[in-house]
Amino acid sequence: MSPTQITPEIVKADATVGLVTKPRVVVAADTNEVMREQLEFLIEHAENGVCGCELCKRYLRARSLLLTELFPESPDAIVMKKSSSSAGR
């Protein structure tokens, strides 16, 4: 505790009150903004090629998860569908 702060136990009715600080409240960051910043950071890191470091591994995991959510079919299934539809022509 800072020497300028006074706890309720120390304060006496006849004593002068010292500096009492208010508790600090830190507002939580917006989760979407944090995720966006992290993705931008990872993308910028991997722009010049994936070197295999921890950041590149994080980038590849995030990319894989996002692509799986956006395109739930595996790339093999997409290729197979295109091949089968063009073979029937």
**Lowest model confidence (mean pLDDT) among 31-35, 54-58, 59-63, 85-89:** 85-89
Q: Is the pLDDT of residue 64 over 70?
A: yes
Is the pLDDT reported for residue 70 higher than 60? yes
CA distance 56 to 43: 9
pLDDT exceeds cutoff 80 at 39: yes
Cα gap 42→3, rounded to integer Å: 43
Phi, psi angles (nearest 5°) of residue 82: -65, -40
Give the number of other Cβ atoms within 10 Å of residue 58's Cβ: 16
Q: Are 19 and 5 in contact (CB under 8 A)?
A: yes
Q: What is the mean pLDDT of residues 48-70?
A: 92
Question: pTM here?
Answer: 0.51
Task: Find tokens 């966006």 and name the residue.
Answer: 36
With a cut of 90, say whether residue 47 has pLDDT above it.
yes
